[in-house]
Structure formats: structure tokens, C-alpha cells
Structure 1
Amino acid sequence: MKFSHISDTHLGQYRSKKEREDDTYNAFKQAIEISIKDKVDFVIFSGDIFDKAQPPNDAILHMMEQLNRLKENGIESYFVLGDHDQPKVEQNAIHWLYSSLTKVSHHLGDGNPVYFKNVLLVGFDYHSDGHDIESLQEEFKKIDLIAKEHDGHKIIVLHQGLNEAHSYAGQLNANDLPKNFTYYAIGDIHEKFGPKKYGFLGGPLAYPGSTEISSTEAIKETKKGFFEVDISSAEAIPKWIELDMRPRFEIKTSADELHAKIDEVISKIDEKHKPLVSLKITDVHDWKSIQQEIARLDEHILDRSTNLIQVSDSSVFLDRPNVIDDEMLRLSVDVLGSEQAANFAINELLPILVSGEIKEASQIIIDNFEKFKKEKKQ
């Protein structure tokens, strides 16, 4: 027996380009197709199926289509809600959607035990910090007693940050989890983590990460996928399944080497599948020549982020952790209400302003506005 553990699909998240919206849906579809092809017995979604609690119609249709495909192939599915797709008020229409899913999927979020053959499944929707987390830990104690008495596999499904997986987003420690489960299917962290084995837990713990880079994450060369978990024996054995993603390149180079680096990247590009590119350029002294090189690259790619870095601060910008970039971008999207505007502010305008190049910053704003006007006319 085996199952798929999929998480953080974020269907319906806003993208500045239609192709990126399609990438999100394609990643979800791939995960379902592979699960069907590999004949898994059931599928677990550990939260944030949708990007928001009021998803667009396209997102709902895509989800229903894929859940129906699972059902048509005799595959059950189970889900919990994350911090993104959990309704904040009872009047939200999404309650009706989740309650109407019973024919094609099963909501595990209340902590009540559910059984698939001889497999015990328990899930909890996302719990926020403070008293909510304390009540979750009390629920852990109750369900652990049930798991201890169960003779078969025992799977717990959560959407919470663990300090061991992400020091900036942790709400719990692994040691806070119930001890008697044979697999810990967790969502919330967008980077793959695990499978990890801890002596105080009854089985491996794993975050598959998101199935696509979200709109609030920096572009980076990272693999995306999910886990297929074999529970044919006494031990749960997770296997990583990588998805076929849009290519992405991280370029770190000096301004003097930029031309050669861009030539190198262009030579690798399949024009039918244009990549995403992250540019970090040091030793910037001539903005106009940089612009020309970037324009040349833009003809061959779908989207990019750009950091222009002066000599004095290059080590700071190049060595800072990706999680800081992600958090800055996420906050900017929240404030500006636009992924495109946030990318421009953080990745292009901020580095120039930090270095005190006011004239160059003004030119960047003018150029960006001209580009915006052209796109609006098309």
C-alpha cells in the first residue's frame, strides 16, 4: 500500500503573467497524474490547496477536475486547511465548497480519527500562534492515546511550521508532536524538508514543500515535487517525486562578466519553455550598459528579478539567506497589492536607492513606467 503526500499547491494565486498561473495549475495536475500512474491507494493534501479562502472560479474548477480524476481511478483523497485557504468567518462561501466535497474528498481538519482500511488518519487544520497552538497541543495528547492503541499505520496531517524545518516560521518543535504516529505529513513550509527521523517520534516527518514557487518567493533554482510513501511494511518509506517545472536560472555575476553570463544562459534556453531568471549583478558602474544586456536577456525569458549591487555592499546582498528575500517580497506584495510592483521595488529599485544612486533610481522608474505603458497598449 502507498499514498501521495502533496502540499501547498496554492491554486488561484495571483500572477502578473498568465503563463505563471498556468504553471501553478500544471504542477497540481502533474502531481495527480503521477499519483494515478503509480497506482497510489490514497492522496493526502497537507494544507493550502488554495491560495486564499475565496479562490477564483478557475482554481475551484481545476481542483474539482483533479479530485474527480482521483475518484474515477478508485483513489481516495484527504485534506486539511492551511492558513491561506482556511475561512476566517462562518459566512464564507468556501464552507459550502468544503462540505460539498464529501463525494470526492475527505476533510480531516477536526482531529477526529478516520480510517482507510487499516490505516488511521488524523488531521488538524492550521492553528495560529498563542492560545490556538496551546489548544492544538492538548488535542495532540488525546489523539496520541488513540494512535498508541491502533495496530496498523497511523498518519497525522498538519499545516504548521516547525522550528526544525524553518527557524523564521516555526510555531512548534518536533518534540511537541504526538509520539505514536508512523508518518507525519506536514505542510506550510515551501521548501522540501525531510524525511526526518527523530528518536522520540514513531516514524518519519516530512514537508514536501510547495508544488510551485509562490508569488511571494524569490526566483531560485529549486526542485519541486511531493512524496509517495510506501506503507506496505511496518515502516513508512517516503520517496521523493520531482515535478517537471519551468526552467529557472540564478545568475550571480559582476557587471563586467554580465555579457558572457547572459550568452551562456541564452544558449541553454528552449524558446518553447521560457525560463525564470534571478539576476544579481555586482560592481555596477554603468546603468545604461546593464539595461542593454538585460533587454537582450528579456527577449528569451518569461520573467526575472534583478538585484543591482554596488561593490561596497555586494557581500551583504549576495550572502543573505533566501528566506530574507522571500519575506521582503511577501511583505511588499501585501503592501503594494501586486507581485509585479513588489518585484520591481525590491529587486530593482531598492538596491540602487541603498547605494545612494538617486539619478539612476529615477531613470529606472521612468523606464519601468514606459514599459508599463507599452504592455497596457498590447
Structure 2
Amino acid sequence: MLFSHISDTHLGLVQYGSEEREHDVYHVFNQAIDISIKDHVDFVIFAGDIFHIPNPNGTAIIQMANALKRLKKNSIDSFFILGEHDISRIRATPISYVYHNLEFSRYIGQGNPINHKGVLIVGFDKIRKTEIPQFEEKFRAVDEIASKHAGHKILVLHQGITEFNKFAGELQSTDLPKNFTYYAMGHLHDHDIKQFSHLNGPVAYPGSIELTTSEGIKETKKGFFEVDISEKEVKNNWIELDTRQQFSFKTNYDELTKVVDEISSKICNIERKPIVEIKIQGENIETDQIQAQISRLYQQTLRCFWRIISKEISESSVFLERPNSIDYEMLRLAVDASGSEQIANFAIKELLPLLSSAQIKEATQIIIENFEKYKKEKVNDNGN
């Protein structure tokens, strides 16, 4: 039996306000669906962040619907949970529920185990860090069910695991139910897989299918997993998708002309115009001269960005030891600035994503919710 494990599709993301970038996401998403159909997978798991925002545009909604329809036509079932990007904070019904109600796909995010052709599948929607203690009992309950199931057991989560990325960690591997034979993860955008001695199967992140804004501009590969569970041992095959190439370069100001020539030579034969970033350091920098040199790349690139960095920043730990996502570095800096991990988590992980995608109502709602919670905590503290 073979299934696809796809995550963090972020359908509807319009990066840089670019229509081309929106279609890049749809392009790689449909590649993953086409490959799954071609390889005759038995089912597909979508491990959260299906959409980039809870109220996606019509094109994104139709892209997902058409993909699920194609899977159904080829007798391929699918299952999904919700990530933080799918869930509205103003208690609106998630768009993805429509696919469940129309029986295009099956929603499994409430932790209710299902048996699909002898495979036990359990999923949980995104769990906020503050909510994790109340899920301990639910994890124990599904672990007990998994221990009694003779076949393969798949747990689907949209969470950061500390052993994969300490900046994004919401759970430790020891917090996970131990009796599952495959942990289908979402949330982290770099693909990775680890086997822990205290778990019965691998913990796998396929990563996002395309570079998102929070990841910055870099040379990287994107894809998804096809997982073979025909035998007792799980076999993972990570499949690379054909994404638009992105490059980040660093140069001294006095070598800019030479570097631009080298970049032009490197990208001249790339069929789909790449995205390029150039970080420039030096003294007596003239921005007009930079602009003149960078403009030579405009016809060869979809977007070409440049910024000036100081030598100190270039050599600092922010660049030498930076985490996999800009978000995680922002979190670290926010903790340093506020002196509170709780405040930093709220600002970076909950409030900022809403504000950056113009979800003003949702942002206002969580501010009100957190203020009410703060007042209650103060009353309890005073009462004690």
C-alpha cells in the first residue's frame, strides 16, 4: 500500500503581490497530485496549512477542489487536518470543511480514529502551545487504540517538534503517542525525517511545496513524500517538485559589477525566470550605482531584490547560525526584546501572521481574547 504525504501547500499565497508567484504554488501543487495519480497511490494525506489564509480567494478554493476531484476520479481517497493558516480566529467555519461535506475528502482533525483499508489514521488540527496540556489525555487515548491495532497506524499533526527545530518546537518527540508506525507531520517548511528509539515509526516532515515569504530567498528543493506501507517497515520516498529557482548572493560593493556579470551568466539559460536577492556590504556605497547594476538583471529575473548589510551583521550569528525560517529568528529576537517567551510567541506566531495577511478582524479578536485572559489571570493572582 502506498500513500502520499503532502503538507504546507499554502494555496492562495500571492508572494510579492505577484500573480506569477501565486500560479507557481498551483503549478507545484498540481505536480504533486499528478505524480500521486501516476504512481497509483492508495490515498493522500494533507497535513495542514492547505490554504495561506482562512478566507482564500476563489482560485485557490477551485484549485483544491479540482485536485480532490481528480483524485476521486482515480479512486484515490484523501484525508486532511487544519494548520494555523486554515483556522480563523473569529470562529468562522474553515473553507476546507466544504470538501468534507461534499465528500471530496475526509476531515480527520478532531482526533477520532478511522480505519481505512486496514490502516488506522488519526489526525489533530494545529494545537497551540498553551493548549497542549489538555491534549495529553487525548494522546494517551489514541495511543491505547493504536497499541491494539494490528496494521499500520498513522498520526497526522501540524506541529513543530523541538528535536527538528528548537525555535519552532511546540512538542518534544517524547510527547508523541509511541505506538504509531508513521508520524505524518506538517508545519516545518524544510523536509526532514527522524527515527526515535521511543517511537514505533519515523517522524516525517515533507516541507512546504514552495518557498514562502517567511523562508526568505535561497537555493533549496521542495517536494513531498510517497510512503510505502506494504511491509512492516515503512519506506519513505521524498519526491522533488519542479519549483521556480531562487538564489541569494552576498558581495562587497566594489565587486558588484563583477558579481552581477556572474549572476547574469548563471541564470541566462534558466527557462522560468528565477528570483534573485543580492546582499551588499562595503563603504562609500552609492545607491544609484547599485540600482544601475541591478537593473541589468531585471529582464532575466521574475524579481530581483537588493539590500545593504553591515560587515558586523554579515559576520554575526544571525547569519552564520540562522534558523531555517525567518520566523524563528524573529521569535528569538522578540524574546530578547520583550523578555517574555509568552509575549514573543503571541506576537510572532499568532498576531503577526494575521496582520501580514490583512486579517484585521481576526487580529483584533485575538487581542481581545488575550486581554480578557490577562485580566482573569490578574484577578486570580490578586485573589490568591
TM-score by length of 2: 0.82
Q: Give distance in 2, aligned partners of 1:173 and 1:31.
A: 29
Q: Give distance in 1, aligned partners of 2:70 and 2:106.
A: 15
Change (3 A) 1:334 1:112: closer
Q: CA offset at residue 312 of structure 1?
A: 4.3
Decide whether the 8 Å contact of 2:53 with 2:357 is kept in 1.
no
| Residue type at the aligned position of 1:303 | R
Change (3 A) 1:140 1:285: same
| Counterpart position of 2:55 | 54
Instruction: Describe how 1:207-218 pairs up with structure 2 within 5 A.
Output: 207-218=205-216
Q: Give distance in 1, aligned partners of 2:66 and 2:309.
A: 46
Q: Give distance in 2, aligned partners of 1:218 and 1:229.
A: 29
| Residue type at the aligned position of 1:4 | S
Change (3 A) 1:311 1:137: same
Instruction: Describe how 1:183-202 pairs up with structure 2 within 5 A.
Output: 183-194=182-193, 196-202=194-200
Q: What are structure 2's unaligned runs of at least 5 residues?
A: 332-347, 359-384
Q: Give distance in 2, aligned partners of 1:229 and 1:324.
A: 26
Q: CA offset at residue 234 of structure 1?
A: 0.1
Q: Give distance in 1, aligned partners of 2:250 and 2:24.
A: 25
| Counterpart position of 2:335 | none
| Residue type at the aligned position of 2:296 | R
| Counterpart position of 1:14 | 14
Stretches of 4+ moved more than 4 A in 1? Answer: 326-338
Q: CA offset at residue 169 of structure 1?
A: 1.4
| Counterpart position of 2:337 | none
TM-score by length of 1: 0.83
Instruction: Describe how 1:96-107 pairs up with structure 2 within 5 A.
Output: 97-101=98-102, 103-107=103-107
Decide whether the 8 Å contact of 1:9 with 1:211 is kept in 2.
yes
Helix, strand or coil at the partner of 2:272: coil
Decide whether the 8 Å contact of 2:110 with 2:125 is kept in 1.
yes
Decide whether the 8 Å contact of 1:216 with 1:327 is kept in 2.
no
Instruction: Describe how 1:264-275 pairs up with structure 2 within 5 A.
Output: 264-269=262-267, 270=269, 272-275=271-274
Residue 94 in structure 1 maps to residue 92 in structure 2? no
Q: CA offset at residue 91 of structure 1?
A: 4.0
Paired residues, what number? 335
| Counterpart position of 1:42 | 43
Decide whether the 8 Å contact of 2:227 with 2:234 is kept in 1.
yes
Q: CA offset at residue 53 of structure 1?
A: 1.3
| Counterpart position of 2:122 | 122
| Counterpart position of 1:133 | 132
What are the superposed Cα offsets for residues 218-256 of structure 1, whole Å, 9 maximum, x if unpaired?
A: 111111000111101101111110001111112122122
| Counterpart position of 2:217 | 219
Decide whether the 8 Å contact of 2:86 with 2:94 is kept in 1.
no
More displaced 10-residue stretch of structure 1: 204-213 or 279-288? 279-288
Q: Give distance in 2, aligned partners of 1:336 and 1:186.
A: 25
Q: CA offset at residue 96 of structure 1?
A: 5.2
Q: Give distance in 2, aligned partners of 1:87 and 1:209.
A: 23
Instruction: Describe how 1:139-288 pairs up with structure 2 within 5 A.
Output: 139-194=138-193, 196-269=194-267, 270=269, 272-287=271-286, 288=288
Q: Give distance in 2, aligned partners of 1:333 and 1:143.
A: 31
Change (3 A) 1:125 1:301: same
Instruction: Describe how 1:281-360 pairs up with structure 2 within 5 A.
Output: 281-287=280-286, 288-316=288-316, 318-319=319-320, 321-323=322-324, 325-326=326-327
Helix, strand or coil at the partner of 2:213: coil
Decide whether the 8 Å contact of 1:219 with 1:305 is kept in 2.
no
Helix, strand or coil at the partner of 1:94: coil
Change (3 A) 1:119 1:301: same
Percent sequence identity over aligned pairs: 46
Q: Give distance in 2, aligned partners of 1:138 and 1:165.
A: 24
Q: What are structure 1's unaligned runs of at least 5 residues?
A: 339-378
| Counterpart position of 2:378 | none
Change (3 A) 1:147 1:93: closer
Change (3 A) 1:17 1:310: same
Helix, strand or coil at the partner of 2:72: helix
